[in-house]
């Protein structure tokens, strides 16, 4: 069973991001490290993704009056392709709805296979550039 709890260890959460994003950072010559990621995520709403009392990923959101942004969704490589990402997206939708946000938005590297996950989960492409795919989903 997947559960979500507020992140207590931002360093571990930053490690999930760095480990998963390393190929994309290399592809686009982005020079980020764990400390930079941790600093950038301090002001976000951070949740650990927990499976059987083991942290297997991180979900990060930000909210304003008009929208919710999915800032980061990372699942440990050993736990990918098990439906955890889809469950985390459902949690993001639930939190957006709880915070009365009518839309959930995200930005993803356009070469990431996660683009397909987001499309399957109801996100539509609203814009693209040479690096990113910008997507959104209305919240019912």
pLDDT of residue 46: 97
Task: Sketch the domain layout of the chain as residue ranges.
Answer: 2-106
How deeply is 54 buried, as exposed, middle or buried, from its count of CB atoms within 10 A (0-12, 13-18, 19+)? exposed
How deeply is 52 buried, as exposed, middle or buried, from its count of CB atoms within 10 A (0-12, 13-18, 19+)? exposed
pLDDT of residue 87: 97
Per-residue pLDDT tens over the stretch 13-45: 998 899 989 998 888 888 888 889 989 999 999
Per-residue pLDDT tens over the stretch 118-140: 999 999 999 999 999 999 999 98
Q: What is the mean pLDDT of residues 63-82?
A: 93
> What CATH superfamily is the domain 2-106?
Gcn5-related N-acetyltransferase (GNAT) (3.40.630.30)
CA 76 to chain centre: 12
Q: Looking at the chain, how many residues does it have?
A: 140
């Amino acid at each position: 069973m997947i559960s979500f709890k507020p992140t207590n260890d931002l360093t571990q959460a930053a490690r999930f991001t760095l480990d998963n994003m390393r190929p994309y950072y290399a592809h686009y010559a982005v020079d980020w490290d764990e400390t930079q990621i941790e600093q950038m995520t301090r002001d976000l709403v951070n949740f650990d993704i927990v499976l059987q009392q083991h942290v297997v990923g991180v979900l990060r959101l930000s909210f304003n009056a008009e929208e919710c942004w999915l800032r980061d969704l990372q699942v440990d490589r050993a736990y990918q392709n098990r439906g955890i990402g889809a469950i985390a997206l459902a949690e993001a939708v639930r939190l957006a709805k709880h915070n009365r946000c009518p839309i959930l938005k995200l930005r993803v590297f356009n070469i990431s296979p996660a683009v397909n996950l987001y499309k399957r989960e109801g996100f539509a492409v609203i814009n693209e550039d040479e690096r990113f795919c910008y997507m959104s989903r209305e919240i019912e």
